[in-house]
A and B are shown apart, each in its own frame.
Chain A
Amino acid sequence: MLYWLTQWLAEVDTFFNVFGYITLRAILGAMTALLLSLLLGP
């Protein structure tokens, strides 16, 4: 969902094109999942 949002924002500012790269989104995905599991853990 954030990917679609960034693709839409890229039409306004080309900076958001960086989120088109799978490598960056994979890193962000790993960090998001890590943070979620640490925050929601017992």
Chain B
Amino acid sequence: MSQPIRKVGPESHFSKAGTPTMGGALILFSIVLSTLLWADLSNRYVWVIVLVTLAFGLIGWVDDYRKLVLQDSAGLPARWKYLGQSIAGLAAAVFLYYTADVPEATELIVPFFKNVAIPLGVFYIATTYFMVVGFSNAVNLTDGLDGLAIMPSVFVASALGIFAYVAGHAVFSEYLAMPYLPGSGELAIFCAALAGAGLGFLWFNTYPAQIFMGDIGALAVGAALGLIAVVVRQEIVFIVMAGVFVMETVSVILQVASFKLTGKRIFRMAPVHHHFELKGWPEPRVIVRFWIVSVILVLIGLATLKIR
């Protein structure tokens, strides 16, 4: 099961042809089994996050399977991929909206302000959809260099685990002026499992990779992170902490918009990690520098725990 390499990608990537892919299955199996072993299975948040992760993993698996069988890097047609993602994302959003047991569960929390919380109402569903589907694709776009997507995912999952623990703890949430969301603390176990599985996967995915994550891992990990951010009501902080994924996505949007409007490209190649590669940075330098940026952004996000 080897990954076909995009013919339009950097030439340095042609040597990666033949590297096994669908390593995301390893991540998903480890996360789900570990969560089922250690989490409280009577908690609805645990089941929502596990089922959404598996649903996005299934979509990614279909995409990977088509790439491998047809040996074409195009994979699953985009419209079918977005349809599957939309169904899974909307189902999770609607379920969370109608099972919200406290008003804070559907309010937008603004970082750095103690008393600013905007009730979202039905816009909660749209926000959740955007977070889940958007970050699923954002992690997928970032997954272009060895270890580039998984390490920031580990950093962000670890930070979200802290947010989940605090949000689910009556005393700590009051002390830190965060909304108390009963039951959300169990998501810390899922986050920890994601971080553990991610590190184990990185053992094999580090440059030069012995295995790739594939869409099965990237789509699922991105959706899981986005959904956890929604449940713990930290969407804005999450967008900052997951800034590497946001930057990669924005680079693609800007590149496409610029080319269609002016006929000129902003970057040598998008997503932006390819731009730096084509500027002459060796692949490990791009990867580690993006990791450093990710750590800084996660630390800024964690600072909002106290600075408000």
Contact = CB atoms under 8 A, between A and B. Distances in A.
A28 B35 CA distance: 10
A30 B188 CA distance: 10
A25 B41 contact: no
A37 interface: yes
A22 B40 CA distance: 9
In the complex, which range does the number of interface residues on chain B fall in?
A: 35 or more
B37 A29 contact: yes
A40 B41 contact: no
Given A3-B41, A32-B37, A37-B30, A26 B189 contact: yes
A27 B192 contact: yes
B259 interface: no
B196 interface: yes
A1 B196 contact: no
Contact of A41 (B161, B191, B204): B204
B29 A36 contact: yes
A12 interface: no
A9 interface: no
A12 B110 CA distance: 46
Interface of A, helix, strand, loop or mixed by DSSP: helix
A42 B38 contact: no
B45 to A, nearest CB: 12
A4 B283 CA distance: 46
Interface in A1-42: 1-4, 22-23, 25-38, 40-42
A29 B201 contact: no
Interface in B148-172: 161, 165, 168
Nearest to A36: B30
Nearest to A34: B196
A33 B200 contact: yes
Can you list the 4 inter-chain pairs with the closest CB atoms, starting with the nearest? Answer: A37-B200, A33-B196, A30-B196, A34-B196
22 contacts: A1-B37, A2-B37, A22-B188, A25-B38, A25-B189, A26-B161, A26-B192, A27-B192, A29-B34, A29-B190, A29-B192, A30-B193, A34-B197, A34-B200, A37-B30, A37-B199, A37-B200, A40-B29, A40-B30, A41-B26, A41-B203, A42-B211
